Amino acid sequence: MAMAEDDLYTKDGTVDYHNNPAKKNETGTWKACPFILGNECCERLAYYGMSSNLVVYFKERLNQHSTTASNNVSNWSGTCYITPLIGAFVADAYLGRYWTIALFSIIYVITLVQLHKKGMTLLTLSASIPGLKPTCQAKDSCHATSTQAAVCFVALYLIALGTGGIKPCVSSYGADQFDDTDEVEKKHKSSFFNWFYFQSI
């Protein structure tokens, strides 16, 4: 009987969201992984889809010179790779990985939605609402006001903050779904990372 009870719980000390010992048949393994992989895939698609067009957007819509536009994109991209320090600190010191991913995903999505009709919101709004969208007389003659440019940059740096909370937590949170003391789950963990990096490409 004692052996059956021992097999009921994970052996690596994992707890559920109520801080009770995690039951093997109710938590972890592949149950949560599609959501983790889906979140990461959507975040990467949004990030790379947006970042690949920023220089052109800055040049054509914000009327920036090529060097200024490239510099602004480099600064933003660099910020996206520094903000994971903030996300990692918040996760380790205060919220844990799950709540950090949830909170920063909300920041990311709301910002994206604001930007583009409820998905990357703020950034979408700055590109589509007439008052926030730079006025253009011809293709290369757009003039953004300081408010329009500010809304665009606030949205971009909120996205950088959002990605900073997701990036340091998501891979280790996925690894947490598997019990290292169980040989079958150990193999599944390797498979998880194969899928994680495959969909991140």
pLDDT exceeds 80 at position 171:
yes
Give the pLDDT score at 1: 44
Give the pLDDT score at 131: 65
Contacts of 27 (CB under 8 A, 6+ apart): 10, 14, 16, 177
How far is residue 137's CA from residue 126's CA, in Å, rounded to a whole number? 18
Among 17-21, 52-56, 103-107, whose mean pLDDT is lowest?
17-21
Give the pLDDT score at 152: 81
Contact 21, 152 (CB under 8 A): no
Where along the chain do its domains lie? 31-200
Q: Compute the average pLDDT of residues 154-166.
A: 89
Contact 25, 183 (CB under 8 A): no
Superfamily of domain 31-200, CATH level 4:
MFS general substrate transporter like domains (1.20.1250.20)
CA distances from 103 to 14, 90, 112, 193 (A): 22, 11, 14, 23
Q: Which residue has the tokens 């009327």?
A: 63
What percentage of the chain exceeds 70 in pLDDT? 76
